[in-house]
Chain A
Amino acid sequence: MRYDDVILRWAKIATILFTAMAVVADVFGVVITRYIAYCWAEVFDLGRVIALMVVFYLGTVGGYIVLIPLYKMLSNMSKDKVFDRQNTKLMTIITASLVGIAVDCVVGGFIWNGCWILSVVALFMALVVLSIRVVFAKAITMKEEMDLTI
Chain B
Amino acid sequence: MIIVNLDVMMAKRKISSGELAAKIGITQANLSILKNQKAKAVRFSTLNDICKALDCQPGDILEFRED
Q: Would you give the 0/1 interface string for A9-38, flagging 1 where the beta carbon is closer than 8 Å to chain B?
A: 000000000000000000000000000000
Residues of A with C-beta under 8 A to B39: 148-150
Whole-angstrom CA separation of A150 from B34 in the bound complex: 7
Q: Is A45 an interface residue (CB 8 A)?
A: no
Chain B interface size, under 10 / 10 to 19 / 20 to 34 / 35 or more: 10 to 19
Whole-angstrom CA separation of A144 from B26 in the bound complex: 18
Within 8 A of B (CB), among A112-130: none
Whole-angstrom CA separation of A148 from B43 in the bound complex: 11
Smallest CB-CB separation from B34: which chain A residue? A150
Q: Is B12 an interface residue (CB 8 A)?
A: no
Whole-angstrom CA separation of A150 from B46 in the bound complex: 7
Task: Give the Cβ gap from A149 to chain B, nearest Cβ, in Å.
Answer: 4
Ordered nearest first, which 9 A-B pairs have the shortest CB separation?
A: A148-B40, A149-B41, A145-B40, A150-B34, A150-B39, A150-B30, A148-B39, A150-B46, A150-B42
**Chain A interface (Cβ within 8 Å of chain B)?**
144-145, 148-150
